[in-house]
Structure formats: structure tokens, C-alpha cells
Structure 1
Amino acid sequence: MQSVDTLTRAELADAIHRQLGLSRAESLSMVESILQHMVTALSDGENVKISGFGTFLLRDKGERMGRNPKTGVEVPITPRRVLTFRASQMLKDRIAGA
């Protein structure tokens, strides 16, 4: 079984620190600023596209009937907005080649 690692904000900031030579505090501030800008755009109903990486899309799902898998009872699922991610072709190609 393959080990699953998680890339954290601190690791992103450290990569910026190493590659751009900014201080650790400036690097972390940059990461936080970018993430906050993305969150604000998404909460305002905008999609976020990062060229060469992918697109974060908001989708409105209507009400529908679902089924409780344990009891089999049908229950209504309320309408909601969901966030999806669609990877760019460039990202898909790099992952497939890895």
C-alpha cells in the first residue's frame, strides 16, 4: 500500500522561502493571501481557474430523493452548493507520467 502525504501551508511557504528568498514570515503571508483571495472569490460565487493546474468550480445541486443505505428508507436531500475541482490537461499529463 502506498503512503499518502499531505502538502501543507507551511510546506508551500517553505518552498517559496527557498526558491524566492523571501523570509519565512513573508512566504507564509503570501500563501495565506493567495488562499484567502481564492476563498473570497469562491464565497462570492466565482469559479477559480489556475492556468496549468485546474479549475475550482461551484455547482448548485437541486433537491433530490436519496436512500438511507442502512434502512432503505427514502429521504429528501436538500439543495446545496458544492465545490468541485477539474484538473487541467497539463496536470493530468504530469500525474500520468509520474
Structure 2
Amino acid sequence: MAKPMTKTQLVAALAEEMGSDKKSAGNALDSVIAIITREVSGGGAVTLPGVGKIYCRERPERMVRNPATGEQIKKEADKVVKMTIAKALKDSVNG
């Protein structure tokens, strides 16, 4: 498996794709991340065309097991961030 792209590499690739400098690309990436974070943490969802949909899902209170002791513990309800991958991305990877 290939190593994941770092933020520095992503900013450099984005700058090259945009035809601008790395500082502008870094600011653009930080802005997109801030918008996604704000929207999803507020309970909304963000769709990135061709990539997927990022959303927050609530999980109910449930019983979980401590793997070290086997003890059953009640875990409070919480929220988890999910992402559904777009069909276009799946098809480009598989085809």
C-alpha cells in the first residue's frame, strides 16, 4: 500500500493544479477544512462532488465490553463522523 499524502504534499499538488503559490493553496485548503469542520460539527453534511459526502451520525447509548477484563460497560450516546464515498471515485479506483 502506498504512503498517504501529507498535508505539505497536498498543498504543493494543489498549488501546481491551481497555478498559484503554496501559500495561497495552503490558505485555500485550510479554509475548506474549516468550512467542513464547522458544518459537520453543527450537525450538517458536506458533499464534495466526485469524492463523497461527510456527515455526522448519532450513536445511541449501548453496552460495550472491555477486551482486557471482559466486563460489560454502558457507553453513553455519542456522535461519530462518517464519509460515504462517491460512485465516481469508486469507479475510477476500480476501473
What TM-score comes out, normalization by structure 1 length? 0.87
2:27 to 26, 29, 35: 29
2:74 to 76, 84, 95: 76
Shift of 1:70: 2.3
Q: Is the 8 A contact 1:14 1:24 kept in 2?
A: yes
User: Are 2:84 and 1:94 aligned?
Assistant: no
Q: 5+ unaligned residues in a row in structure 2: which ranges?
A: none
Equivalents in 1 of 2:70, 2:77: separation in Å?
21
- The size of the alignment, in residue pairs, is 95
Q: Is the 8 A contact 1:9 1:31 kept in 2?
A: no
Shift of 1:8: 2.3
Q: Deviations over 1:29-74 (max 9, x none)?
A: 1111111111111121111111111011210001011111222211
1:9 to 7, 28, 31: 7
Equivalents in 1 of 2:27, 2:74: separation in Å?
43
User: Are 2:52 and 1:54 aligned?
Assistant: yes
Output the amino acid matched with 2:45.
N
What TM-score comes out, normalization by structure 2 length? 0.89
Equivalents in 1 of 2:71, 2:18: separation in Å?
57
CA-atom RMSD, angstroms?
1.3
Q: Deviations over 1:5-45 (max 9, x none)?
A: 12222222211221222111111111111111111111211
Deviating above 3 A after TM superposition, structure 1's stretches of 4 or more consecutive aligned residues are: none
2:64 maps to which residue? 66
